[in-house]
Structure 1
Amino acid sequence: MSKPTIDHWNATKGVLRYLAGTVDTCIMYTKRSETRGLHGYCDSDFASCVDTRRSTTGFVFLMSGGAVSWSSRLQPTVATSTAEAEYMSGASAVKEALWFRHLSRVFKLNVPSVPIKCDNQAALKMINNPITSARAKHIDVQHHFIRERAARGEVLFQYVKSVDMVADTLTKALPLPQFNKCKYEMGLR
């Protein structure tokens, strides 16, 4: 950071206080979890960066009740709608799911279609509809491979209610009860 301010320092102190208070927290994996197979959640926070208006992408992949991979970062381009931001978030999640499928083949494991949950129905329609609408015409090709992978059955996008979106905690600040719920769903104890 080239010109840190007092606000940056205060934010840093807040992060350090949080980390000091969670040194005993770890990810727990269980054999008896009803969600043993690999599955993911992807989410975005539309135009969350006040300087660039880029959206934040977040995804988490879970297996045996605990997080095995997660990411939170600004999207590389500005999205013009919530659906587009969620679509680009889905593309990032698909890349990770494909990496897991490749890794499973290395270990001679069979990972069928990886379910990825999304809380935006317009984005799901864009993913599952091979015809490019006016809404998606301008989206960069780097994101459109998501449709091809869904059509091949390599990933399966499913709707999840926003209150059940585990990746929410990776894209935005949440009220404490919702934050704790997301943390628990990721296997953090």
Structure 2
Amino acid sequence: MVHKWLETSNKKSWIPIQGTASITGNDKHDPPQAKQYQELVGQLLWVSNTARPDISFAVRTLARYMTSPTNSTWKVVIHTVKYLNQTCEYQLHLGGKSNKHVDHPVVTYTDANWASDPTNGCRSTSGVVTYVYGCPVSWKSHIQKCVALSAVEAEFITASEVVREALFFSYLLKDLEISDVQPVLCMDSQGCIQVSKDPAKHWKLKHIDTQYHFVRDHIQEGDIMIEFVGTANNVADILMKPLKGLSTSRLAQSIGLEMPSRGGVEDVLAFQWDSQGPIEMSMRQGCA
């Protein structure tokens, strides 16, 4: 795909998208060019849904312009391909003893970017990643269906939407005779955690559709547990907004994308030593 859409192989980038503000303009593509855009975004959708969660936000944003692409959207989608060219060695790591997020059988990270997109009615963006025994098995970046009035509401809506998926994986494990499975929701909003746990705060969110109070009922019944995680360690952050290069690389690796180990000099150079031992460098060279 990279060789097909990029003129030269040395065009690279450390970020999949620079920002939604760059997707503006009324200069629509001609039908042949529009078909190329639709083909490329379709390919990127397949990649993001199967192996590359780090481009989910960028591709979801670009997919909104499938019916009326412009020169601006074409530049942005090519920028996403440049990012894949830079990080073409990333592989989704499943299994193994080195996996993170293994404190519980089912762990779901959620995050929301409140009123992030003024071009879409100021609706919030949700980001979700679910792990089963440390393996990323499900991820999603999407625009919420209703308008949240605050950041806490946006987080609460996201949490309610993913409870059903977390419970599905717990029931699946129980069918496999793996008992004592209590899914854990990890989020970086203390306000949302308080609202989800404390029935006395229910009045603050009465105006929200009843379906979004699903999370509170299951927390009170003990079916699911909710925990706080710092923003820097919330891997769902990469699924709901554009990030800088270092943050993108760090969260991409935290989410489960790794460079293949060759066991040679190249891997030795990937570590920087100090007086207390090896510290893995934040970036490695991409494909030549």
Task: Using structure 2 for the length normalisation, give the TM-score.
Answer: 0.62
Deviation of 1:54 (Å):
0.6
Q: 1:6 aligns to what?
A: 71
Partner SS for 1:59: strand
Q: 2:96 aligns to what?
A: 30
CA distance in 2, matches of 1:114, 1:61: 10
Q: 2:114 aligns to what?
A: 46
Contact in 2 for aligned 1:31/1:64 (Cα 8 Å): no
User: Which structure is richer in relative contact order (CA contacts within 8 A, separation 6 or more)?
Assistant: 1
CA distance in 2, matches of 1:92, 1:10: 33
CA distance in 2, matches of 1:181, 1:144: 33
Q: 1:87 aligns to what?
A: 156
Between the aligned residues of both structures, percent identity stands at 30
> Does the C-alpha gap of structure 1 residues 32 and 4 become closer, same or farther in structure 2, counting only changes over 3 Å?
closer
> RMSD of the alignment, in Å?
1.7
CA distance in 2, matches of 1:34, 1:182: 12
Partner SS for 1:131: helix
Contact in 1 for aligned 2:106/2:181 (Cα 8 Å): no
Deviation of 1:167 (Å):
0.6
Aligned partner (choices 3, 12, 17) of residue 82 of structure 2: 17
Q: 1:109 aligns to what?
A: 178
The residue type equivalent to 1:185 in the other structure is: S
Q: 1:135 aligns to what?
A: 204
Partner SS for 2:76: helix
Moved over 4 A (4+): none
Q: 1:146 aligns to what?
A: 215
Contact in 1 for aligned 2:99/2:135 (Cα 8 Å): no
Aligned partner (choices 74, 97, 106) of residue 143 of structure 2: 74
| CA deviation vs aligned residue, 1:147-174 (integer Å, no higher than 9, x gap) | 1111121211111111211110001111
Deviation of 1:179 (Å):
1.6
Partner SS for 2:226: strand
The residue type equivalent to 1:41 in the other structure is: Y
Count of aligned pairs:
189
Deviation larger for 9-18 or 34-43: 34-43
Contact in 2 for aligned 1:54/1:75 (Cα 8 Å): yes
Task: Using structure 1 for the length normalisation, give the TM-score.
Answer: 0.92
Partner SS for 2:116: coil
Partner SS for 1:73: strand
Contact in 1 for aligned 2:113/2:241 (Cα 8 Å): yes
Deviation larger for 19-28 or 36-45: 19-28
In structure 1, the gaps of 5 or more residues are none
The residue type equivalent to 2:117 in the other structure is: C
CA distance in 2, matches of 1:129, 1:156: 13
